[in-house]
Structure 1
């Protein structure tokens, strides 16, 4: 039951500078960590100088969506750059031609990156098939497009009213374009798609386990928990029984609870951790709630007003749950701060209020967060400016752009800052690779080569802490985050030394092996 590793470069995860060269694991936990000179075990495993990190944690992601995406089509650069290429990619889906009950799925398109500079429509998707339903997620996972068969299954036609908080886009004659703007509208298609077998969803989630392990991700925060059409907690329980291995914290969409009670769990292997509130949309979709209008004259959408937010906060406090609040625009973030800053925190050891994305933060906002009575967590995503630089430059004015993803400034507040992916909700073919996110956080360089606010770069150790110690604290994974005595023996062995390779090479690092509870669960071929 006891295994010792030696001749390694082990990042302890306790702070930015502490390393060890050997450790012993016993009964799934770290029992000793220190210097290889103190190792006497002749059976110790020689790691030949490889770099070891605590298991990585993606504290804001969408595993159910990723499970769907893994058998769907990536409609993202660098492979899909036009609607014609998107149509061809969907026709190449393994689901194509499999029968009228099989959905063809895709994800990741961003109209600003397509040659036509528009979103695909029902007419475009009907060129793929009119007999199979097609569901295509936009890059932000807020909006989507369906073909005529999908719209018919969802009961959407020219007479269907817009749902509260969403919009069914229409042609001039009133016919739906297939574009479902924002979560409330997208849910109309998802409910039709969810009519497929529950066991299929269980199997898809279980099969996604390997995807996380090969990225070194040992724990995830599921940010779209639902009670209907089935309980997400039950989905995860069944998926774990079928082989899903990462630890999981679930956050349920507050709008869909309808007053039903949730109880916080105590087991960080699988637990209900909080509720999720949507304040606004996305910057790339021109729906984030900003103080200034978009260059097109559009205003963002405010999905939750102050009264409703206060009700959600009270629900979280009464049920001893964390509240995770999606807020991308500066107006939406300011409303969150104004509503919560003077309240007394109700959780200890983790922030009571999480601001998800925190895309645009002014000095005044950061000062309010730092001086607030409330305890805040900032779950932010460098992969967004990496993959969506063109959208941010198009839709933000110069002053707003300077406020984008101010990682260094966040770390200088008392707020707990963690890095995450929001995968698959960004137009990149590897949306939840921790190494692309760390690369972006350290270099501030986007996929197109542009540099985004270079003064907000953070160090490699700080970025790694954003995926380990700080992510564990924010996601309430009490047994993870560092390689310390008594912590879970969850760790990853890297292909290269992330702390010494040229920064340009960080994004190319791969995981050689992932260990969970003292057992090797993944090894690269």
Structure 2
């Protein structure tokens, strides 16, 4: 008979995650689960007053991109502020000089933050290397830049047509500049890159495991699942065999579906849903707007109402959640209008969730709450934290007042979670939940300003949005709270997050992260 392992954690400040004010001082774990107190305490772990949270959950991130970014160059402030600094950062990557089939990668540039106030081009990247392919993600992860070697491997030249929903930027002579606008165009480079390096992709994902654990993250939502050149499910299955630890939920990009989908249902790894792009981004002036940007642009429409209805029908038939990227208010309104009268098909989690929901009016928040289907929002305060200049520049004052209305969602009774969309924002620590909490509470930005300061929420509310509500949002049914029956997945902090001055919240770190009642990472051991 299997020996049941029992541990009792004592003398702690343990946030159970059931409400804003529920704390206990001890926790009993048996065979990887939270159990009620009583009986043999087993091994005693003295927390010595440390603060414990339920394991944090990042419902909207891009682990494949993070895995690439961890060995690539962070081309973000405060590290990179010009194209010349960007070029030098790329030269400092371990891949530089490794051979003609080894890709050099970078991420996070925002042309508005570069001294030149323009995007880098293939010619800029060719100054780093013409023999190695270079792939550089823009901060929104919608657009990208490749050098001449990358374009060659992807088969892109002056005769290549623009893909549906994307644009290959060209100069006056028709020569591609290297800038690939929106996801469909960027995928031309990504597929060429991934086709050469499946084994490297697996290895990089495994190496990224500690990155999540170091942030106290025990579960993640992969929001860019791919079927080409290989299925993301295969990538994750092989990564788990090699030691990847966080629970994962894969959302496949709906436009890649061309037939039956292999659907895995498990606690640690599952195919959870479909990802739909309604529009672009605020910082790229491609979010779909009810009223034009001050520049006159109205953004891009990437998915029609009729197509969204088709995707929802497929998801309903296959028991999948639909996660809809919608930043502009017109894009969000389209989702509301399509979904408001639909019956839900999933139990215990939203059938349809809106990603970002960057601009929300009072009326739209009421419509979200009233929708029969139970619409929910996964939003990212790290965006306005890192991109204040873009929001100030590209939005009119009345539009800016609608940005990231987190407190209004809370008061309106709309289920929401906080997440990162990492690495799709120009900040060196894009998926730190503690920066996300700092931004949600203080509304302060990296440049020292504020965005809608009256939309700040409390620290416990922000923690719940990374734990209890994130679990509801993403279908992580065994996570979210530290209550009997849940998995013993939790994070011990290096300081009491509930006692910090608001200005110091971003400095909070994980001291150790536990999965199934076992310590899987500690800051002390990682030194």
Band the TM-score falls in, shorter-chain normalisation: over 0.9
The aligned counterpart of 1:319 is 318
3-state SS in 1 of match to 2:36: strand
Query: How much has 1:302 moved relative to structure 2?
Result: 0.3
The aligned counterpart of 1:163 is 163
Shift in alpha-carbon separation, 1:186–1:152, aligned structure 2, 3 A: same
Is 1:8 matched with 2:17? no
The aligned counterpart of 2:201 is 201
CA distance in structure 2 between the aligned counterparts of 1:71 and 1:19, rounded to whole angstroms: 39
Report if aligned partners of 1:290, 1:330 keep a CA contact under 8 Å in 2: yes
> Where in structure 2 are there 5+ consecutive unaligned residues?
none
Query: How much has 1:214 moved relative to structure 2?
Result: 0.5
The aligned counterpart of 1:19 is 23
Matches within 5 A, 1:23-62: 23-32=27-36, 41=41, 43-62=43-62
CA distance in structure 2 between the aligned counterparts of 1:222 and 1:11, rounded to whole angstroms: 27
Report if aligned partners of 2:20, 2:460 keep a CA contact under 8 Å in 1: yes
Query: How much has 1:91 moved relative to structure 2?
Result: 1.1
CA distance in structure 2 between the aligned counterparts of 1:324 and 1:221, rounded to whole angstroms: 11
3-state SS in 1 of match to 2:378: strand
Shift in alpha-carbon separation, 1:39–1:80, aligned structure 2, 3 A: farther
The aligned counterpart of 1:442 is 441
Matches within 5 A, 1:213-228: 213-228=213-228
Report if aligned partners of 2:6, 2:42 keep a CA contact under 8 Å in 1: no
Please say which of residues 292-301 and 80-89 is displaced more in the overlay.
292-301
Matches within 5 A, 1:98-117: 98-117=98-117
Query: How much has 1:376 moved relative to structure 2?
Result: 1.2
Query: How much has 1:373 moved relative to structure 2?
Result: 0.9
Question: Over residues 24-53 of structure 1, what are the superposed CA-to-partner deviations in whole Å (9 max), with x where a residue is unaligned?
Answer: 1110011136xxxx8985952211100000
Please say which of residues 407-416 and 38-47 is displaced more in the overlay.
38-47
TM-score, normalization: structure 1?
0.97
Question: Over residues 314-350 of structure 1, what are the superposed CA-to-partner deviations in whole Å (9 max), with x where a residue is unaligned?
Answer: 1111111110000000010000001110111111111
CA distance in structure 1 between the aligned counterparts of 2:42 and 2:235, rounded to whole angstroms: 44
Matches within 5 A, 1:175-190: 175-190=175-190
The aligned counterpart of 1:154 is 154
The aligned counterpart of 1:79 is 79
Is 1:386 matched with 2:385? yes
3-state SS in 2 of match to 1:499: helix
3-state SS in 1 of match to 2:195: coil
Question: Over residues 229-257 of structure 1, what are the superposed CA-to-partner deviations in whole Å (9 max), with x where a residue is unaligned?
Answer: 11111111110000100001111110001
Query: How much has 1:479 moved relative to structure 2?
Result: 0.4
> Where in structure 1 are there 5+ consecutive unaligned residues?
none
Shift in alpha-carbon separation, 1:376–1:304, aligned structure 2, 3 A: same
3-state SS in 2 of match to 1:145: strand
The aligned counterpart of 2:235 is 235
Query: How much has 1:509 moved relative to structure 2?
Result: 0.8
Query: How much has 1:260 moved relative to structure 2?
Result: 2.7
Report if aligned partners of 1:6, 1:39 keep a CA contact under 8 Å in 2: no
3-state SS in 1 of match to 2:473: helix
Q: Aligned-residue CA RMSD in angstroms? A: 1.2
Query: How much has 1:259 moved relative to structure 2?
Result: 3.3
Query: How much has 1:294 moved relative to structure 2?
Result: 2.1
CA distance in structure 2 between the aligned counterparts of 1:260 and 1:252, rounded to whole angstroms: 12
CA distance in structure 1 between the aligned counterparts of 2:412 and 2:351, rounded to whole angstroms: 16
- Structure 1 runs of 4+ aligned residues shifted over 4 Å read 38-43
The aligned counterpart of 1:476 is 475
The aligned counterpart of 2:497 is 498
Is 1:516 matched with 2:520? no
Query: How much has 1:298 moved relative to structure 2?
Result: 2.3
3-state SS in 1 of match to 2:497: coil
How many residue pairs get aligned? The number is 520
3-state SS in 2 of match to 1:316: helix
Matches within 5 A, 1:61-460: 61-263=61-263, 265-460=264-459
Report if aligned partners of 1:249, 1:268 keep a CA contact under 8 Å in 2: no
Please say which of residues 84-93 and 463-472 is displaced more in the overlay.
84-93
CA distance in structure 1 between the aligned counterparts of 2:251 and 2:409, rounded to whole angstroms: 23
Shift in alpha-carbon separation, 1:262–1:39, aligned structure 2, 3 A: closer
Query: How much has 1:157 moved relative to structure 2?
Result: 1.0
Shift in alpha-carbon separation, 1:362–1:43, aligned structure 2, 3 A: same
